Every structure is written in C-alpha cells, then in structure tokens.
Structure 1
Amino acid sequence: MKTFHLVSLGCPKNLVDSELVYGLLLAQGWQGCDLPDEAAVLIINTCGFIQSAVEESIDEILRLASWKQDDPGKKLVVIGCLVQRYRRRLVEELPEVDLFVGTEGITSLPELLAGLGRSDMAERKMVLPDRFLMTAALPRRLSTPFFRAWMKITEGCDNHCSYCLIPSIRGPLRSREIEDLVIEADRLEQGGVREITLVAQDLTAYGEDRGGRGQLVSLLKALLSGTSIPWLRLMYLYPSGITDELLHLARAEPRIVPYFDIPLQHVSDRVLRAMNRRYARADIEQLLGRIRTIVPGAALRTTFLVGFPGETEADVEQLLEFLPIARFDHLGVFPYANEEGCAAEQMADHVAEAEKQHRLDAVLTAQADISANTQQRFVGRVERVLVEGVSRESELLLEGRTRYQAPDIDGCVLINEGETSPGEFVDVEITEAHVYDLVGRIVTSGED
C-alpha cells in the first residue's frame, strides 16, 4: 500500500517544504499515517544548519530506522538540509536509509518513492536535483492549525554570514513572483487562514535577484489588496534592509501586525565585522529609533549569537549594556556552533563551550528582567487575540496570541474567563503579565 509517515525537523521554512511533500504525495494517491508502524515508507525532512540540528536529525533517523527491524519491507527516506550538506558521506554512514534526497527534490519525491525496491533504484541512493523554487500550483497540506500558516517567499540567500551554511546548502537567493504569492495567500484564506507569517532567510532581500530593491513593500501591498487576511506577520528582517517605506506601510496598514523580527546577532562592531554582517552598532541604534518613531508601540524581537570566535568579555559587556537601552520584547540567544565549511571555522580564538554557556546565561538573565518590565505595559489594556485553543498548561485555560506574539516562538495569552473557539478573534482584557506570557479575560468576541 502507498502509505507514508512524515517527520519534519527544523525551521518554519523547512516545515513549508514538508507540507509540500505531504500535499504532493496525497495528490499521487498516497495515504499519510500518524504512526510509523502503520506506514510502508518513513520520511524525515532534516535540518543540517548547526551541529545540534545535525545530531537531532541523526537521532531521529536512527529512531525511525528501528521500525525496519520488525518490518524489513519498510523503506526509510531522508530528505532536506542534512542531505544537501553531507551528501555522499551519508550513504556510507547510514546504510539503514534506502534513499537520500536533497533540498531541491521535493517535486521528484512521488516518482522516487514509486521506484523504491526496483533494482535500478537500489544503486541510486543519493538524489540531488537542480535548484527548485516552489509555486502556488503545487499542492500543500498545512500542518499548522487551520487558521494560520507560514508562507515562504524566497529560497536561498546571498548574505554569506561567516557562521552560516545556508548559501551552500540552499543556494543563491531566488524570489517567487508577487502574483504567485497572492494566489497562494488567497487559497490559504479560502481555507480559513486568518494569519499568514511571511518567512525567508532574509525577508528584506525579496526581489533583489530579479533586479529590484524594496520589493517587499510591493509584495505586501499586493497581498493587502488581493486578500482580506486580517494579520500579516513579517519574520527574519535583515537590519540594513528595513526601509522607512516599509515602516510607514506597517503604520498605515493595521493588517500588517506591528511586530518586527530582526536577527541582530551582536552589537559589538568588531564581532559584527567578523560575522560579515553589513551594519554596526550605531546603525542598530538608529534603526530601533526609526521603528519606534514611525510605528509607536511595535514589538521588537531579535536573536543574538554569543561565543563567536574572538568574542571577548568586553564584547559581551557591550551586549549586556545594550539590552536595557534596546528594550526588546522578545529575545533568543544561541551559542556559536563551529560548523565545518563556514568561514568562521578557520578563525582564531575560539571560545570554550563552558564560557559560551556562561555568556548565554548572562544575556538571558538580563533579558528576563527587561521582559518582565516590558510586559507590564499590557496590564489593563484590551488587546485583540487570535485564539489557538485549549492551553498547553491546563485544560481549564484557553490560549491565544496578540499581534505582538508570533506563533510557536514567543509567549502567549492565557485566557481564564470566557468561551470561544480556535481561530476566532476576541478582545481580551489583560489582567496579569509574566516574563513571557500574559493572562486575561474575554470581554467581547466576534469577527474583526
């Protein structure tokens, strides 16, 4: 029987790929299974971005491979970034796997799976097709709740940060057509989606490969006019690519939620140069000032990378001193991972793992106090909330998000009074604020 079980690892961009795989297989008559023991083919879409993701991918591959011991007829297929990064090495090191397919092989997968077991396929365990760019014409099965979705607007990246393998794994920047993205957004809306989060390796680079700068604004205007989706959210904005035109559009259009995810990585000019980031601390300070002037009350999210080769205690002190000035609403911190093939791999003065963790803990501790204070501004306010459903903390609570909280990344609103359904917008009076989450009661409900 044509049955499959799919596991997706990694970022939202990877999840979109998995949704395409699922949709393509369903369109070819395959049946998805929730449990691996029910499926004839086990598929895992891997992440190979950093070492911890590689290790998670390997562990999951071995876990799925264990199902083949009791059922040798099962096939195990590994796709995605891990394959694109390590290629032929995987064939030798993971003999349990029947087929490896790179990141560009999504549309080829139904045909490849149909050939599993044939003698000619037994010798062709590694498939690395040419570059691929999704379109709205491809079938896609959402794995997110029916009322929200990720929409990937580009593939690849041209930034070449010294710590990042994405250009070598995913290739150069390729932007989808505006018309194609509007078609996809309209289809998502017809399916009940109320919030679309635009994602890319660098959202602000959209359209640059087609000879135009600032095309993100043109795309947003087209989405606003071509759909009625209430919330459009922007993730992964490169700092130097954020224009006043984009900010003014966000202020003028309430359907673009006032939320800016800007991975800064550091604030030390010396470390930023070593990372090959195209801005300095003065540019960051000027950018945050522009955002708060043009879009008052906007939520700001960022990520920092600590323990980069050559980073000193003085560099970390700059970061700690910057946090209370910047007052980020949401912040993620990651330790530098020394990845084979990155430019940073050959840099001098690598930081010890224990010291990386110490620096990470210091940043998180400092940010926790800032977040606790920042969250207090919501107490007493009535905020529009998109309801997710029953809370993960307690069946006695509902859970949702304001415009200032991104799905699967930030905190949430715990609703302790009132009734509603997943996917509905309700007005919630915020009564408590914690470091990550807010608490409130429904005061009105209904459509926006």
Structure 2
Amino acid sequence: MKRLHLTSLGCAKNLVDSELMLGSLELSGWRAVEDPAEAELLLVNTCGFIRPAVEEAVDEILRLAECKQADPAKKLVVTGCLVQRYGKDLQNELPEVDLFVGIDDQQRLPELISELTGGEGGRLILHQPSCGLISSAMPRRLSTPPFRSWLKITEGCDNRCTYCMIPAIRGKLRSRPAADLVIEARALEQAGVKELSLIAQDLTAYGSDLGSSLPVLLRQLLQETEIPWLRLLYLYPASVTDELLDLMAEQPRILPYLDIPFQHVSSAVLQRMNRRYGSKELDRLIARISRRVPDCALRTTLMVGFPGETEDDVQELLDCLQSWQLDHVGVFPYEDEEGAPAAEFQPKVPDEVKQERFARVMELQAQISQQRLRRLVGREEDVLVEGVSQETELLLEGRTRFQAPEIDGCVYINEGEASPGDIVRVRIAEAHIYDLVGGIIS
C-alpha cells in the first residue's frame, strides 16, 4: 500500500475533517504511518484561526518540506483553514508544496493527489465555502481512542464577532440533518464509543437553519443510542435555553458540563466584540445553570488585551471570576487578525500589559480551580479510564464527568484495576490545581 503521514493541527472540528480525509485516502489504497521519512505523501491539515496557529502551521509545513528535500519523490499537500484564508499567498511563498486544497475540496483528495505529476507543483484548488456538509456516508478513520469521539454537528458560523475570521473561512452556518447525525452516532457506538462530544463553532445555533434545535437533536440521540456519556462543547452564552438546561437535569447521560466561551465579562468590551450579551446576562446565565443543573461544571475562555480594554474592565473580570467560581477557564491575550474588524480598533493594549493581565487572571483562576476540585474530595465519582498514566506506569489515568478530553485535568487512579474505556466508580482522595487522585471502589 501507498504510505502517507498526516499532521492535523488546530481544534477538534479540524480533527474530524482530518479523520474523514484519512478515511477516504485509506479507501484509495493509502496507509498512514507515524514517520514522515517512510511516507510517499506528506499531508498537513492546518488551522488558520489566529496568528499562533498560522505560525505553527507554517513551521510544520517547512519541517515536512525538509523531509521532502531529502527525498524529492515525496509529495507535500497542504489543506485546511490556512489554505482557505491565505491560499494564493501560500502558493507564492511555499514553492516546496505540491498541492494546496481548500476546505470544500478535501473529500476530493484521493482524486487530486492521483493527478499530481512530477513536474507540476504548487497547484491551488480553492473555492468559497459553499453549502457543503460532511455526512455519515463518508468514510472516517478515528484518531481518538476507540472509546471516545467527536460529533461535528454544524459547519460555519453566523455570529460576526469582530475579532474572528471563522465566518469568512468556513462560511455561513449549516446544520447537519438530525437523522444523519443519529446514523453516525450509532456507528460510533457500535465501534465502542462511550463518550461522544458534540462540537460546533456554536453548538446552540444547531438547527436554526432547519427549523430544529439542539434539545431536539439531543432527544433523538438519547432515544436512538445508548452511549453513556454525551458532552456539550462550545455553546454561545446568549443562546443557552432553559429547555436545554432542564433536559440536562432530566437526562444523566447528558453530562453536567458546559463549555461556554464568554470571551470577556465587561459589557463595554463585549459590545466592541459584537457579542450579544453583557455582564448582567452572564450573571443571570450562571444563576440559571446553578439553579437548574446544580452540579454542572462550567468551562469558559476569556480574552485579555482587546483594543480599548481598561484596568477597570480587567478588575471587573477578576471580580466576576471570584464571584462565579468557574471550574475551568482558558485565557489568551488578544492579537489582531488580518481582515477582522477589531484589527482596526483603537487604542491598542501594549503587549507587556496584555501579558501582565494574562498572568493575573491565570493566577486567580488556578486558585479557584483547585478550590472547585477540593469539593470532590471524599465523593464517589464515575470515571472514564483512559489507560496507563502518562506520568508513570504505576497509575491509571481517567476523567470524571466534569473533565473534558484533552483540555481539562484528569484523575490519577492509584488503586484498583481497569481497562481503557471502562467507566468505574472512584473515591476521590486528593485534589491538586487541575487534577484529582483516587482509587477504584467498583
């Protein structure tokens, strides 16, 4: 078989695209290998959302270009958001690449790669994002452990946040039909998936273009599958409904965990971001979640250093974090993105001020996260076992319902035996800043 080396960069949504590309290439006679030196095809699925992701993607392309230089018979193919955003520039600046492919043509990769000739090089296949959607009929090779997977339920986004280029890169919101998502969920269940994480650019927008909604989809997934853990990631704050929260409270298979990116808490900053809520709405949202789903873990992301952000805005953010006591918070300094409206906003916050604010927020949240975890000490919790710990072979490693894969902490299991994919009962004995320690009791 022909051999390929695939590098997938960026978010889980991008990883699903990579898994679909790999599935179609395997059907065409390709086999994935870990070592790029062993591959005839070097494939990179890029992220182009923010500047650090762009830099990471370019570095990876150049690394693989060196591998190709050692063996000119190799083909280097680049696809994903970076190509969709900067395709023509990349074509001019990276002559080492044989083929650039935009998002809408990813499923044509087997055909496009077969058309490559020795003397071509630098070909660009790029169209504006259309109404195309992935489907359950497409072959998919999971890259996650067999007991967990992502389910991408929409493509694109209709929110026009002033700092974000996703609508320009990925196009308008398109929801996948619920029947197709149920088919894919059933297939994943049959393959052994026990934790299915629903993902989208804005999960709460699901179905708005189909006359449906996220709660309707969840009810169908609950009825048509027996997957024990359904996790919800990336919800827009202003669109979290009481109907959704009540369904979570009624259905223990929908995990008491919500990832809701706030981006900021200051109403003035949020208005400049073109977010459809302010600090009072966030207060009410957290109160509604606490009232309807009392044990719910909350994750958010926050941006510091947005143009015009003041010390008062940052202090309001810190005060809110202290008051809200969120379980998990990701923080990143704002950076201008070419083409985004916010890139033209003034006044800019100096880089050293951004970093100082970032450090203050992270320091406070580290204390809060540890306090939140301490409430679990002495409790018995269901834990999905991931396998032997990355820290030491003497421990197992897993996650509670309150810890999402790859972004939150874990549970180190120091007593008992279990296999990867088992859901076991663990008594929590210790809490650290981000991780827990406990032993299996059943």
Q: Normalised by the shorter chain, which TM-score bucket? A: over 0.9
Which residue, 408, 411, 414 being the options, matches 1:413?
A: 411
Gap change, CA 1:274 and 1:428, over 3 Å in 2: same
| Alignment partner, residue 251 of structure 1 | 249
Q: CA deviation at 1:127?
A: 3.6
The question of whether the paired residues in 1 share the 8 Å contact of 2:91 and 2:123 is answered with: no
Which residue, 320, 336, 339 being the options, matches 2:337?
A: 339
| Alignment partner, residue 143 of structure 1 | 143
SS of structure 2 residue aligned to 1:378? coil
Gaps of 5+ in 2: none
Alignment of 1:289-368 (within 5 A): 289-368=287-366
| Alignment partner, residue 395 of structure 1 | 393
The question of whether the paired residues in 1 share the 8 Å contact of 2:40 and 2:73 is answered with: yes
Distance 1:280 1:391 in 2: 41
How many aligned residue pairs are there?
441
Q: CA deviation at 1:70?
A: 1.5
Gap change, CA 1:317 and 1:123, over 3 Å in 2: closer
| Alignment partner, residue 179 of structure 2 | 179
Please give the per-residue CA displacement for 1:328-382, whole angstroms capped at 9, x wherever unaligned.
Answer: 0000001101100000011011111111111010001011111111111100000
| Alignment partner, residue 82 of structure 1 | 82
SS of structure 1 residue aligned to 2:82? helix
Q: Report whether the alignment pairs 1:124 with 2:123.
A: yes
| Alignment partner, residue 191 of structure 1 | 191
Paired letter, 1:330: H
Distance 2:417 2:174 in 1: 44
| Alignment partner, residue 379 of structure 1 | 377
Distance 1:129 1:348 in 2: 31
Please give the per-residue CA displacement for 1:24-51, whole angstroms capped at 9, x wherever unaligned.
Answer: 1011121111110111110000000000
What TM-score, normalized by structure 1, do the two folds share?
0.97
Paired letter, 1:124: R
Paired letter, 2:309: E
Q: CA deviation at 1:122?
A: 4.4
Distance 1:334 1:170 in 2: 22
The question of whether the paired residues in 2 share the 8 Å contact of 1:91 and 1:126 is answered with: no
Gap change, CA 1:107 and 1:129, over 3 Å in 2: farther
Q: CA deviation at 1:17?
A: 0.3
Distance 2:225 2:435 in 1: 31
The question of whether the paired residues in 2 share the 8 Å contact of 1:382 and 1:427 is answered with: yes
Distance 2:252 2:124 in 1: 50
SS of structure 2 residue aligned to 1:146? coil
Alignment of 1:58-77 (within 5 A): 58-77=58-77
Q: Report whether the alignment pairs 1:94 with 2:121.
A: no
Q: CA deviation at 1:274?
A: 0.2
Please give the per-residue CA displacement for 1:35-88, whole angstroms capped at 9, x wherever unaligned.
Answer: 101111100000000000000000000000001121111010000000001120
Structure 1 consecutive aligned stretches of length 4 or more whose deviation exceeds 4 Å: none
What TM-score, normalized by structure 2, do the two folds share?
0.98
Distance 1:222 1:198 in 2: 13
Gap change, CA 1:123 and 1:234, over 3 Å in 2: closer
The question of whether the paired residues in 2 share the 8 Å contact of 1:4 and 1:39 is answered with: yes
Paired letter, 1:396: L
Gap change, CA 1:123 and 1:360, over 3 Å in 2: closer
Distance 1:377 1:105 in 2: 49
Distance 2:97 2:70 in 1: 15
Paired letter, 2:336: N
The question of whether the paired residues in 2 share the 8 Å contact of 1:233 and 1:259 is answered with: yes
CA RMSD in angstroms comes to: 1.1
Q: Report whether the alignment pairs 1:434 with 2:432.
A: yes
The question of whether the paired residues in 2 share the 8 Å contact of 1:163 and 1:342 is answered with: yes
Paired letter, 2:318: L
Q: CA deviation at 1:118?
A: 6.3
Q: CA deviation at 1:130?
A: 5.3
Distance 1:309 1:201 in 2: 23
Q: CA deviation at 1:125?
A: 3.3
| Alignment partner, residue 239 of structure 1 | 237
The question of whether the paired residues in 2 share the 8 Å contact of 1:88 and 1:126 is answered with: no
| Alignment partner, residue 111 of structure 1 | 111
| Alignment partner, residue 45 of structure 2 | 45
Distance 2:283 2:439 in 1: 37
Q: Report whether the alignment pairs 1:6 with 2:6.
A: yes
SS of structure 1 residue aligned to 2:123? coil
The question of whether the paired residues in 1 share the 8 Å contact of 2:103 and 2:129 is answered with: no
